Amino acid sequence: MKRAAQKIISLFLCVCMIFSASAVGFADEKAVEINTVSCKNDLANLDSDVPVVFVTGLEGEYYKGLSTKTEEDDVRIWGPQAGPIVEAVFKNLGGILWNLFTKDYDELASVLGGLVDPIFGDFVCDEKGIPNPDTGKKEVSDSELEDGNGYENCYRFVYDWRYDTVTIAAQLDEYIEYVMSLTGSDKVALVSMSMGTAVMMTYLHEYYYADENYSRRNHIDSAVFIAGAMNGVGCCEDPFSGNINIDTVSLMRFLSEIMKGNSGTEAIYYMLECLYEIGALDCLVEFADNLTQELLAHGFNEAMTDSIATIPGFYALMSAERYEETVEFIFNTPEKKAKYAEIIRKGDYYHDNVQANGANIIQSLLDDGINTAIIAEYGYSFMPLTSDNDRMTDGTIATDRESFGATCAQVDGTLGENYKQAKECDCGKNHVSVDNQIDASTCRFPDITWFGKYLKHTCADNYLADLVNLIVYSDRQITVWDYEEFPQFMINLDGEKLVPLTSENAGVILPYEETTVMGKFKSLFK
Output the pLDDT for position 208.
94
**Is 82 a residue whose pLDDT tops 70?**
no
Confidence of residue 447 (pLDDT cuts 50, 70, 90): very high
- Distance, in Å, from the CA atom of 450 to the CA atom of 226, rounded to the nearest integer, reads 9
The pLDDT tens digits of the residues spanning 246-301 come to 899 999 999 999 899 888 899 999 999 999 999 999 998 988 888 888 877 776 66
Closest CA to 386 of 440, 318, 454: 318
Output the pLDDT for position 460.
66
Q: What is the mean pLDDT of residues 432-460?
A: 93
**Is 182 a residue whose pLDDT tops 70?**
yes
- Distance, in Å, from the CA atom of 494 to the CA atom of 210, rounded to the nearest integer, reads 44
- Distance, in Å, from the CA atom of 327 to the CA atom of 336, rounded to the nearest integer, reads 10
The pLDDT tens digits of the residues spanning 116-142 come to 766 777 889 999 999 999 998 887 665
- Distance, in Å, from the CA atom of 519 to the CA atom of 98, rounded to the nearest integer, reads 40
The pLDDT tens digits of the residues spanning 133-181 come to 999 888 766 555 565 555 668 899 999 999 999 999 999 999 999 999 9
Q: What is the mean pLDDT of residues 232-258?
A: 91
Question: CA distances (Å), 160 to each of 52, 125, 164, in order?
Answer: 20, 12, 9
**Is 526 a residue whose pLDDT tops 70?**
no
Can you name the residues that pair with 375 across neighbouring β-strands?
Answer: 226, 450
Output the pLDDT for position 88.
72
Closest CA to 235 of 345, 314, 163, 125: 314
> pTM, whole model, 2 decimals?
0.87
**Is 358 a residue whose pLDDT tops 80?**
yes
